[in-house]
Structure 1
Amino acid sequence: MSTVPGFFDSGFLRQRDDTATELMDDHDGDVAALARTYERFRLVNAVVSNQRAVYRRWVRPCLSPTETRRVLDIGTGGADLPRALLRWARADGLRLEVTAIDPDARSLDWALAQPADPGLVLRRVSSSELADAGERFEVVTSNHVLHHLDGHQFGALLADSERLAADGGIAVHADIERSRYGYAGFALGTLPFSRNLLAGSYIRADGLTSIRRSHTAAELAAVLPPGWRVRRGIPSRLEVVWEADA
């Protein structure tokens, strides 16, 4: 628990630390460590991100066994979420295409080097470029993106999401909720794996930094534009949601 001095101080994590920087955001960082981070995201996110809950609650109800529906994953990183969504949709006999986008060429290069997955479209493009081009999706989503954004970027993402899901779609952006419980849980839960499964990756250090950068439900509710709402999930999860027909 010594990763951040002052953890036991009553004020620790009371305020969002938007000045903290994640190691994987350093474009001059260790390429091998970044690759190992993308590789292990699939395992870690399966535990901490509750991606299956996002699929069951938001994606699966929009899918069809006869018509291909489209999902957009913004800031996809190594594209572990899109691959999971496609795997679950196939198991349910539903037709799905996931467009996964990220402005970081490093993540797209890594994702493109992995085995092809039917229904997965990887593009280095921004959400605003897709919206300007008239692209539309049944579901617009992201995972662990919101805490990376400043105020202007946050507002732009929500505005883009509304345009991209305008024709009866939904947008749901999932992220961590900042809390001492979540921080302690991640710190203790990853400690046994720091010298084996997570060794040589950025996951443990950046995960703790992510929690410090993340919002609380009250903080997000105070800044969301009309039509958006925030709901809590487990474990220490937040979902920022917009529904075209709501």
Structure 2
Amino acid sequence: MVDLSSRAVDARELMDAPDADIGMLERTYERFPLVNAVVSRWKTVYRRDIRPRAQKKSIRLLDVGSGGGDVSRALAAWARRDGVDVSVTALDADERAIRWASERGGGVEYRCAHTRELVAAGERFDIVVSNHLLHHLTGEELPALLADSIVLSEDDGLVLHRDIARSRFAYGSFAAATAPFQRNLLAHSFIRVDGLTSIRRAYTPREIAEVVPDGWQVRRAFPARLELRWEAWDARP
């Protein structure tokens, strides 16, 4: 039985390896939209938090750790459909991801960099988001990301870092849901094995609430989701 009593911080996702098979990596990027459509619920976030702000003014949005860029492209597409002005920047430190994502376009600006480089350049965004990034970070990288996110936010900015919430339900559901597809739809990708590793590395809402600074809200969402939320008008004095 898999031990989910604490974070498996020493476990590593295969796709993060510098020598990861490029064919499997690209097939993983191709399959991410299917996974995120089911588990990440970004359309709900768009309707709840992004579109209402964009109906009032033009919005600059930063997607940190954007990977294959599917969330960035989806947000940009929904904004175009609704006739609101949302300029999306997809940021990832992995040049393989940015190269692959850039070839898909989608009205998104793709940048290979770290948040600290944007901070140094004095850039600001109305909304900063991430998807499935938090569980990748070390104990030093997490507070650095949260601090950078605040500095990168406009005076009325919003930050939403969304991730998996570790639980037996999350692990068992993902294992069962992906098992029938591991030899066809998900074959030759890292989706199943890395997805299970991600859940083992993920925080519970209680765990992450103990390590985030004041000013951050920890929210739970279905299915097995957690969200770190920071809003300027709530957090700044």
Q: Shorter-chain TM-score: which interval?
A: over 0.9
Q: Which residue of 2 aligns with 1:83?
A: 73
In 1, Cα distance between equivalents of 2:49 and 2:15: 29
Structure 2 counterparts to residues 1-246 of structure 1, below 5 A: 6-7=1-2, 12-64=3-55, 67-114=57-104, 116-118=105-107, 120-246=108-234
Residue 58 of structure 1: how far off its partner (Å):
2.1
1:126 offset after TM fit, Å?
A: 1.1
**TM-score, L = length of structure 2:** 0.96
For structure 2, which runs of at least 5 residues remain unmatched after alignment?
none
TM-score of the pair, normalised by structure 1: 0.93
Structure 1: runs of 5 or more not aligned = 1-5
1:18 Cα shift?
Answer: 0.5
Correspondence for 1:3: none
The CA deviation at 1:200 is 0.4
Aligned-residue offset at 1:87: 1.3
**Secondary structure at the counterpart of residue 163 of structure 2:** strand
Could you say what the CA RMSD is over the residues aligned between the two structures, in angstroms? 1.1
Runs of 4+ in 1 over 6 A off after TM superposition: none
Q: Distance in 1 between matches of 2:89 and 2:103?
A: 16
- Quote the Cα distance in structure 2 between the aligned partners of 1:157 and 1:61: 26
Secondary structure at the counterpart of residue 25 of structure 2: helix
Secondary structure, aligned partner of 2:9? coil
State how far apart, in whole Å, the 1-side matches of 2:52 and 2:122 are.
24
SS at match of 1:89: helix
Listed one character per residue, the Cα deviations across residues 130-169 of structure 1 (whole Å, up to 9, x for unaligned) are: 1121111111000000000011100000000001114210
Contact kept? 2:77, 2:106, Cα under 8 Å:
no
Mapped partners of 1:209, 1:41: distance in 2: 16
